[in-house]
Amino acid sequence: MNPMGEIVSLKKARRKRKSKGKTLCKSGFHKWAIDQKKQFDVKKGRLVTIKRCERCGVTKTTFD
């Protein structure tokens, strides 16, 4: 047992905090949440749902 303590690299810890969750989005595993309930698209004549990823902020539009 080492009497000092565990040595932690600050660069590694900072890099881990900075990239937390972003690696999933790069692989295509977004965490979608509905941004606005329902909107109506006049040109298409359909309801529109806007979804935003909670991790990276990318938006996706779906028609209902």
Residues β-bridged to residue 60? 51
pLDDT at residue 2 tops 70? no
Mean pLDDT over each residue of the chain, to the nearest integer: 79
pTM listed for this prediction:
0.56
Q: What is the pLDDT of residues 20-40, one digit of tens each?
A: 666 788 888 889 999 877 787
Q: Is residue 41 very low, low, confident or very high in pLDDT (cuts 50, 70, 90)? A: confident
Instruction: Please indicate, yes or no, if residue 38 is contained in any of the structural domains.
Output: yes
Of the two residues 8 and 26, the one the predictor is more confident about is 26
DSSP alpha helix (H) spans, 1-64: 10-18, 22-26
- Number of domains observed in the structure of the chain: 1
41: which residues sit within 8 A by CB, 6+ positions away? 47, 48, 63
Range(s) of the domain holding residue 62? 28-64
Instruction: Please indicate, yes or no, if residue 50 is contained in any of the structural domains.
Output: yes
